[in-house]
Amino acid sequence: MIKKYYPFLIVFSVLFLDQSLKFWVKCNYALGENIFNFGILRFDFVENPGMAFGLSFGGLTSKYILGVFRVFAVFFIGKYIYLLIKTGAHKGFVAIMCFVFSGALGNIIDNLFFGLIFSSGTSWNSDIEYWVGYSGVSSVFVGGYSGFLEGCVVDMIHLEFYWPSWAPFGLKNTEIFPPVFNFADTCISSSVFFVMLFYKKLVRKEDLNLAMLFSNTVK
């Protein structure tokens, strides 16, 4: 039973953990607040109007375009996973793609719906043409702070470590990896790492031939 439905279990588990963590942070902490520190690991609540790992660009128009692109990308990944299962791909590769799919879907939920269900959040100010934060702690299901496709992704994981004092090129004592990210981002990036690490064991040539995959399943 578990072997048959493991793709659904992976997707459900990742989405549950990702969304639970985001709801907990947003409903209990103020924007910019440090939640806890453990060595180089910090939990700092930030909101990201753009892409993964805190990357953002442009205003609302760019956000709409990115949101629509995300929806199509997740649909494509979901279809790709279905084709992999139908053609007997390695279960490890299917599992990895499920982590990518659920991670991407987790961030899309933020983008599509968080502006509608949370009372406050980072929003676009047309007067100054910039994203503006908020004060206090958000409430949920009491009216939104923006519209559909205008929600910001909740990030909280921060790995704080620095280049040594002898580092060249002006890197001395600067932070090596400053972006703040979330559990969904971690699932996506770690999945890519595992594919690269175990590529020969997990991936068949036909897995990369999308035309062949479609021709083998559309019968």
What does the pLDDT read at residue 191?
A: 94
What does the pLDDT read at residue 53?
A: 52
Domain ranges of the chain: 2-133+140-214
Phi and psi (nearest 5°) for 89? -65, 160
pLDDT along the chain (219 residues), means of 10: 82 97 97 94 91 62 86 93 90 95 95 95 88 93 90 94 86 87 94 91 80 54
Q: What is the DSSP string of the chain?
A: -HHHHHHHHHHHHHHHHHHHHHHHHHHHS-TT-EEEEETTEEEEEEEESSSGGG---SSHHHHHHHHHHHHHHHHHHHHHHHHHHHTT--HHHHHHHHHHHHHHHHHHHHHHHHHHHBS---EEETTTTEEE---S---BSS--SS-TT-PPEEEEEEE--B--TT-TTTTTT-BS----B-HHHHHHHHHHHHHHHSHHHH--GGGG-HHHHHHHH--
pTM exceeding 0.75 = yes
Contacts of residue 72, Cβ cutoff 8 Å, sequence gap at least 6 = none
What does the pLDDT read at residue 156?
A: 95
What does the pLDDT read at residue 151?
A: 92
* Tokens of residue 21, six digits: 């963590």
CB 139 within 8 A of CB 115: no
Compute the distance between CA of residue 2 and CA of residue 91 in angstroms, rounded to an integer.
Answer: 12
Compute the distance between CA of residue 34 and CA of residue 13 in angstroms, rounded to an integer.
Answer: 26
